[in-house]
Amino acid sequence: MRHNSISMLLVGQTVQRCRELHWWLDNRELRYEYAEFCNDARSRISRTQFDLVISEYQLPDRTALPLLDVLAGSPATLFFSRALATDFLWLLMLDRGRRCVGAPVVRSSNLHGALDQAWHAIGNTSELERLADELTSTPFLQSVSR
């Protein structure tokens, strides 16, 4: 898997203003979809499988908690953010569909490292899934049984 082919969704107006997030996205040439409201994000998630979802916690129409339930058990990694006066706090809520109870809060100054770690885990998981699909494909099994 090429890392820049991961599918991303940014949710909320505030995450659009985070310089560190956009620096990280730009340096990796990552593209993303955007939703302003929780309901819009849920609708997009129902139509598209996202690898990485980054949402502000308090959205204009409600909190982002429903995204946690919608994405739990999926391959998605989910971060919630909270804007402060001069910074952001980031919390990993799901790591490839698994809840992250007790994950440390990350300040924007450390956001790049947290996102890089998630990005590499997504890439490694996708590569392993591709290899597993290849190994369990019918042509491969037929060549092994000969």
State the architecture of 3-145 in CATH terms.
3-Layer(aba) Sandwich (3.40)
Residue 39 CB contacts under 8 Å (≥ 6 apart), including other chains: 61
DSSP-assigned beta bridge partners for residue 79: 54, 92
Residue-range domain boundaries for the chain: 3-145
pLDDT digits (tens, 9 = 90+) for 3-61: 457 899 999 998 888 889 989 999 988 889 999 999 999 999 999 999 999 999 999 99
pLDDT digits (tens, 9 = 90+) for 84-139: 988 899 999 999 999 988 888 999 888 888 999 988 888 776 555 565 566 667 66
